[in-house]
Amino acid sequence: MTMQIYETRQKVVDGKPIGWHMVCSNSSGSRVYPVGYCADHAPHPTAEDAERCYRAWTLDTARFSIESPDEMRRCGVCGDWTLMRAEVGGSFPVLVPLCPTHQDRASLDAATSKPTT
Protein backbone atom coordinates (compact mmCIF):
# COMPACT_ATOMS: atom_id res chain seq x y z
CA MET A 1 0.00 0.00 0.00
CA THR A 2 1.26 3.46 -0.88
CA MET A 3 0.95 6.08 1.78
CA GLN A 4 0.68 9.78 1.17
CA ILE A 5 2.72 11.99 3.47
CA TYR A 6 2.06 15.68 3.98
CA GLU A 7 4.93 17.75 5.30
CA THR A 8 6.83 20.98 4.86
CA ARG A 9 10.02 20.71 2.85
CA GLN A 10 12.85 22.95 1.82
CA LYS A 11 12.96 23.47 -1.89
CA VAL A 12 16.51 23.13 -3.14
CA VAL A 13 17.67 24.59 -6.43
CA ASP A 14 21.24 24.01 -7.60
CA GLY A 15 22.18 22.75 -4.13
CA LYS A 16 20.84 25.89 -2.40
CA PRO A 17 17.73 25.89 -0.19
CA ILE A 18 15.41 28.63 -1.44
CA GLY A 19 12.41 28.25 0.85
CA TRP A 20 9.56 26.08 2.09
CA HIS A 21 6.53 24.47 0.54
CA MET A 22 3.87 22.18 1.95
CA VAL A 23 4.32 19.05 -0.12
CA CYS A 24 2.73 15.68 -0.58
CA SER A 25 4.93 12.68 -1.20
CA ASN A 26 4.29 8.98 -1.43
CA SER A 27 5.99 6.62 0.99
CA SER A 28 8.51 5.42 -1.59
CA GLY A 29 9.61 9.03 -2.19
CA SER A 30 9.27 8.68 -5.95
CA ARG A 31 6.85 11.57 -6.23
CA VAL A 32 6.92 14.87 -4.35
CA TYR A 33 4.76 17.84 -5.24
CA PRO A 34 3.56 21.05 -3.58
CA VAL A 35 -0.07 21.03 -2.44
CA GLY A 36 -2.73 23.63 -1.69
CA TYR A 37 -1.81 27.22 -2.59
CA CYS A 38 1.85 26.18 -2.54
CA ALA A 39 1.27 24.43 -5.86
CA ASP A 40 0.96 27.86 -7.49
CA HIS A 41 3.52 30.09 -5.86
CA ALA A 42 7.15 30.49 -4.88
CA PRO A 43 8.36 28.91 -1.61
CA HIS A 44 7.79 30.53 1.78
CA PRO A 45 10.67 31.89 3.87
CA THR A 46 9.87 29.54 6.80
CA ALA A 47 8.25 26.15 7.38
CA GLU A 48 5.66 27.81 9.65
CA ASP A 49 4.56 30.05 6.80
CA ALA A 50 4.11 27.01 4.58
CA GLU A 51 2.03 25.29 7.27
CA ARG A 52 -0.16 28.37 7.72
CA CYS A 53 -0.58 28.61 3.95
CA TYR A 54 -1.75 24.99 3.71
CA ARG A 55 -4.10 25.42 6.64
CA ALA A 56 -5.70 28.49 5.02
CA TRP A 57 -6.19 26.44 1.87
CA THR A 58 -7.89 23.57 3.71
CA LEU A 59 -10.26 26.07 5.37
CA ASP A 60 -10.96 27.88 2.10
CA THR A 61 -11.76 24.63 0.30
CA ALA A 62 -13.73 23.02 3.16
CA ARG A 63 -17.19 21.60 2.47
CA PHE A 64 -19.96 22.38 4.91
CA SER A 65 -23.30 20.96 5.97
CA ILE A 66 -22.48 17.31 5.45
CA GLU A 67 -24.85 15.07 7.32
CA SER A 68 -23.50 11.97 9.00
CA PRO A 69 -26.74 10.15 9.78
CA ASP A 70 -25.36 7.39 11.99
CA GLU A 71 -23.42 9.11 14.69
CA MET A 72 -24.08 12.02 17.04
CA ARG A 73 -20.90 13.93 17.90
CA ARG A 74 -20.28 17.06 19.92
CA CYS A 75 -19.85 20.29 17.99
CA GLY A 76 -16.19 21.35 18.03
CA VAL A 77 -17.18 24.89 19.02
CA CYS A 78 -20.16 24.83 21.40
CA GLY A 79 -20.28 21.15 22.41
CA ASP A 80 -23.89 20.55 21.31
CA TRP A 81 -24.69 17.08 20.00
CA THR A 82 -25.00 17.11 16.22
CA LEU A 83 -25.15 14.94 13.12
CA MET A 84 -23.65 17.70 10.98
CA ARG A 85 -20.03 17.76 9.83
CA ALA A 86 -17.67 19.93 7.86
CA GLU A 87 -15.04 18.31 5.67
CA VAL A 88 -11.44 19.57 5.46
CA GLY A 89 -8.18 18.30 4.06
CA GLY A 90 -8.21 17.99 0.28
CA SER A 91 -7.50 14.46 -0.94
CA PHE A 92 -7.55 12.93 2.54
CA PRO A 93 -10.57 14.59 4.09
CA VAL A 94 -11.27 14.76 7.78
CA LEU A 95 -14.82 15.21 9.06
CA VAL A 96 -15.17 17.78 11.82
CA PRO A 97 -18.36 17.74 13.91
CA LEU A 98 -20.05 21.17 13.78
CA CYS A 99 -23.64 21.94 14.77
CA PRO A 100 -25.89 23.74 12.23
CA THR A 101 -25.18 27.17 13.76
CA HIS A 102 -21.42 26.64 13.45
CA GLN A 103 -21.22 25.61 9.81
CA ASP A 104 -18.85 28.39 8.75
CA ARG A 105 -15.15 29.01 8.14
CA ALA A 106 -14.43 30.85 11.40
CA SER A 107 -16.01 28.09 13.50
CA LEU A 108 -14.17 25.42 11.57
CA ASP A 109 -10.95 27.33 12.14
CA ALA A 110 -11.66 27.47 15.88
CA ALA A 111 -12.66 23.79 16.06
CA THR A 112 -9.51 22.60 14.31
CA SER A 113 -6.85 24.92 15.70
CA LYS A 114 -4.26 23.22 17.77
CA PRO A 115 -4.46 24.17 21.43
CA THR A 116 -1.68 26.59 22.24
CA THR A 117 0.42 25.50 25.15
Cβ neighbours of residue 41 under 8 Å, at least 6 residues apart? none
In Å, how far from its chain's centre is CA 65?
18
**Rule CB under 5 A: which of 1-40 touch Zn ion?**
37-38
**Nearer Cβ to Zn ion (5/27):** 5
**CA neighbours within 13 Å on the CB side: how many for 21?**
19
- Interface with Zn ion, residue 85, by CB under 5 A: no
Q: Which stretch binds Zn ion (CB under 5 A): 2-10, 58-66, 72-80, 83-91?
A: 72-80
Catalog residues that contact Zn ion under the rule CB under 5 A.
Answer: 37-38, 53, 75, 77-78, 99, 102
